[in-house]
Every structure is written in C-alpha cells, then in structure tokens.
Structure 1
Amino acid sequence: MNELISIINQVSGGEPEEIIYDLQSVIQNSTASMIAGIVIGLLICFFGLKLIRVLAALAGALAGAVIGLAAGIMFGLEGTVMLIAAGALAVILACLSAILYRVGAFVWLLMLGVGAALITFTPDSLLTAFICLGAGLILGIITAIFLDPIIIIISAVAGGFIAGISAAELTGLAGSFLITVLASLVLAVIGLVIQFMMKSREVGKKERLYSESFREKESMETEVERARMLLDDEDGEKKSSPDDEDPVRESEDDEDDDDITFIE
C-alpha cells in the first residue's frame, strides 16, 4: 500500500523513472499481484480473442492515462490538473478502443508490447524508452493489419508467459529459467489450440447461419414465382372465357339465318 501511495505521489509530481521502478517492485514482490497475474494471464491466454473489446478498453484507458501524464509533464502541469487531464484522455481512448475493433486491437497490442518491453528492460535512457515504444508500435500495426490470427497468437503467448512467470514467482521457482519457460510455452500452446478451436466453431456457425438464410431466401423466391405463375394462369383463363360462344345463342343465330334464307 505504501508503494502504491508513493506511485500516486510520483505521478502527481511527474517522476517517470521512479514510477516505472516502483511498478516493477510492486509486480515482482507482491503476492496479490502474482495471483492476479496468474488469473489475468490465463484469461488472456485462453480467451484473448473473446475478450478483445474488454482488453482494448482497458488498454485504451491505460494509454490515455499515460499520454495525459506525459503531456502534463511536458507542459509543466502538476497535481490535480494533470490527473484530470489523464483521466479525461483515459475515458476517451477507452471508449474508442472498445467501439472501433481495429483501433482497439492496435491499442491493446501496442500497450502489451510496450508493457512487456518496459518490464523486461528498465528504460535508463530516452533511447531505451523509444525502443520499447517502437516494439509496441510494430506489434500494434501488424495486429491492426491481420487482426484475429495475430490477436490469437500474441494473446496466447503473452498470456501463457504472464501466467507462467507469475506462477514461478509465487511458487519460488523463478530462479529455474528452464521450468518457467517450459511451463509458459505449454500454457501458450494450450491457449493457441483453444482459441483457434473457438474461432473455427464461430466461423462454422456463421457459415451455417448464412447457408440457412440463403436456402430460406431461395425457397421464398421459388414460392413467389409459383404464386405468380398461378396468377398468370388464372388471368389467362378469365381472359379466354368471354370469347367462348354460348351454344344456345349460336343455335338461335343459325335458325335466324335459315329464316332469312327461306324468305329470299
């Protein structure tokens, strides 16, 4: 708790290097954060594509807050004003990321890439910070182009390693690099299989629904054509019926013709 309070004070005071260092300390040394890392990692690993809009909204909120804090530091804002600006940008980017699918995918993978780079390499210089940002940008752009397949692959791998590393930290096996990597890879492979299976079922369901709707439409068009043909037949019969001569009238006309012939 004291570390979190220290982070909030540093945010209002604009001390980015100390913020990153304290965040790393909280993540690596807190039991609660390790448990949360396992749960969040498994959710991302197994349901990354299903939860993409939720993850994108969270990533958008985080991106907005970071941009707001960075802008506040650049323009010399402090305290409440900077926090309000960061909060407003966080809300705006969260909404945009949740509504616009491609934008949300880009923001989610951007923040994931930058976060992974920052946790792995503490930016001790501006160049290192830009390298971390560049890695996130490349990942976000690739994801925005290819969307679902890349989201599945990255979320499965990232979630597997988040859960695996957090579990290793919690159980005291973090010193065994091989065990940590193997456990993370196993989770990543399982996540890949599960997510691609769910995506395949979703695509199959959409194709089945489209096929059913197409057959219904075709059947309806066939019934309409049959009804039109029946109406045409009925109209043809009605038009032909007045032309038929009455046999009684025809016989009377014949008698009249005979009378006239006789008189002549």
Structure 2
Amino acid sequence: MDVNKLMSSMQGMDYEAILKNLESMGGPMKNALMIASVLTIVIGLLWCFFGLKLIRVWAAILGLALGFGIGTGVAAAFELSSNLILICGAVGGILLAILGAVFYHVGVFLIAWITGSSLALLVLQPKDWKLMLACVGIGLVVALFTIRFAELIIIVITGINGGMSAGTGIISFLPFDNQIVRYGVIGVLVVAGIAVQLLMESGKRKKRTLENAKKIREQNSTANEVAKARAMIDELDKKPAAAKKGTAGKNQKKKKAAPKKNKK
C-alpha cells in the first residue's frame, strides 16, 4: 500500500461536502452528527477552560488512546494474530493511561506531545510521512519544553486546542458559515480559556504561598514556645541549686562559729 497516495487522497477529500450529504440523509444520521457536535463543544470547552485543572483526566484518556495505537502497531508489525494485536493494544493503552494519571510529569509530557503534534498536523497538513514525522517531532519539542514551563505550556496548548474544537462545533449550529465569524469565535474562546486558566493557576499559587507562610509561622511559633519552656525549666533548675548552695554556706558558718563559743 502506497501511504503517500493514501494521504494525498485524504487531503483531497471535501469533508464539508461529505458532512452536508450526511446531514441531508436526516433521521438517525442527523441526530448522530448533532450529538457528535455537542460532545465536541463540551469537550472543547473543558479543554479550553480546565485544561490544566483536569490534566490527569486528559492524560489518562490520551494515554489510553496512544498506548492502544502503539501496542496494536507494534503487534501488527510482528504479524501477530488479531486477538494478540488487540491484547497488546489494550495492555499498552492501560499502561500509558495509568502512568499519565498517576505521575503528573508523565501526564504533562503526554498531553504536550499529543496536542503539540495535532496542532502541527492541523497547520502543516502533511501529505507524506516525512512531514508527518516532522509534526510529531514538533510535538516532542513542545513536550520537552514542559519540563521547565509545564503549567504555562499546558495552559496555552489546551486553550488553543479546546478553543478551536469548541469554536468549530459552535459554528456548525449557526445558520451561516462565515470565515470572519469562525475565526472570531475561535479567537474569543482561545483568549478567554487561556486567561481563565492563568487566573485559576495564579489563585492556586497564591493559596499555596499563604499555606506555606502559615506553616512557617506555626513552626516558628512552636519553636519559640519550646525555647521559652526550656528557658523556664533551666530557670527552675537554677533556683534549687542556688538555694542548696546558700543553705550549705550557712551550715558551714554555723560550724565555724560553734567552736568560738566553746572557747569562751
């Protein structure tokens, strides 16, 4: 199979015409398309406004899909049976889903890689495997940058990706399709999503700072109380010692004074 010809034919398809033809069928097909559009809008809005907050959920979902694709691809390359291919795909998907959900940085890396690659694919629209691998490489570079700027990059790429998905779904419900309106809706959603996520992250960091400051104050207060208690104990220990010393001195004076009275 010639992959380049396959990708070229996919690029040449008129997807809007296909969707219009499906919509004209009416009945269950039209309802299915409407449900798919609504789901696209909901998921896009969640990505746009809660990309960073729900990062473990997204990491589990994307990890499941990516792991399943990798597992089935590797198994198919070794020409295994269909059952083993599905088993390998399931194992790979579950493994990546667990890693992405449990380990924060693994989830961040997966999301940045997949969303960065998908955005590169959307912009460059590759027609051969070389350009497609370049898009995957761009996503990998974006993912590597998340090691240092994790929160900021996740906010930006989820805001862009979610805004584009939700905006495209919203436009499909409008009675007209205008490019200016399309770009306007997407732009407003992207800016609003990124701004909301930045505000939430700022509030989260402020709350974390206040909690750390409270802990430090409590530790210092506890240390001061302990120091005061030790000082009081030392002071109490010194008083009996001083009293004993004074009593011993008086007894010695009395002993010295007693022989003098006997001589008289």
TM class by shorter-chain length? 0.7 to 0.9
Tell me which amino acid in the other structure corresponds to 1:135.
I
2:64 is aligned to 61
Q: Which of 236, 239, 242 is equivalent to 1:237?
A: 239
1:220 is aligned to 222
TM-score, structure 1 normalization:
0.81
Matches within 5 A, 1:44-123: 44-118=47-121
Report sequence identity in percent: 29
Report which stretch shifted further, 33-42 or 107-116. Answer: 107-116
Distance 1:225 1:204, change over 3 A: same
1:168 is aligned to 171
Which 5+ residue runs of structure 2 have no aligned equivalent?
Answer: 1-5, 23-32
Report which stretch shifted further, 69-78 or 147-156. Answer: 69-78
**Residue deviations 1:98-143 (CA, integer Å, cap 9, x gap):** 1221221111122223334556676543224323322322222223
Distance 1:124 1:76, change over 3 A: farther
Q: Which of 25, 40, 45 is equivalent to 1:37?
A: 40
Matches within 5 A, 1:116-155: 116-118=119-121, 124-155=127-158
**Residue deviations 1:1-48 (CA, integer Å, cap 9, x gap):** xxxxxxxxxxxxxxxx69x96xx97x9662222111100010011111
* SS of equivalent residue, structure 1 residue 257: helix
1:183 is aligned to 185
| Alignment check: 8 A CA contact 1:110 1:139 kept | yes
Q: Which of 203, 206, 216 is equivalent to 2:205?
A: 203
Whole-angstrom distance in 1 between the partners of 2:161 and 2:101: 20
By how many angstroms is 1:253 displaced? 5.5
Whole-angstrom distance in 2 between the partners of 1:187 and 1:103: 27
Instruction: Count how many residue pairs are aligned between Structure 1 and Structure 2.
Output: 241
| Alignment check: 8 A CA contact 1:35 1:170 kept | no
Whole-angstrom distance in 1 between the partners of 2:79 and 2:126: 22
Which 4+ runs in 1 deviate beyond 6 A?
246-249
Distance 1:227 1:129, change over 3 A: same
Whole-angstrom distance in 2 between the partners of 1:232 and 1:221: 16
Tell me which amino acid in the other structure corresponds to 2:50.
F
* SS of equivalent residue, structure 2 residue 148: helix
By how many angstroms is 1:79 displaced? 2.2
| Alignment check: 8 A CA contact 1:46 1:191 kept | yes
Tell me which amino acid in the other structure corresponds to 1:230.
M
1:11 is aligned to none
Whole-angstrom distance in 1 between the partners of 2:175 and 2:70: 36
2:30 is aligned to none
Distance 1:76 1:170, change over 3 A: farther
Whole-angstrom distance in 1 between the partners of 2:70 and 2:91: 11
| Cα RMSD (Å) | 2.8
By how many angstroms is 1:211 displaced? 0.8
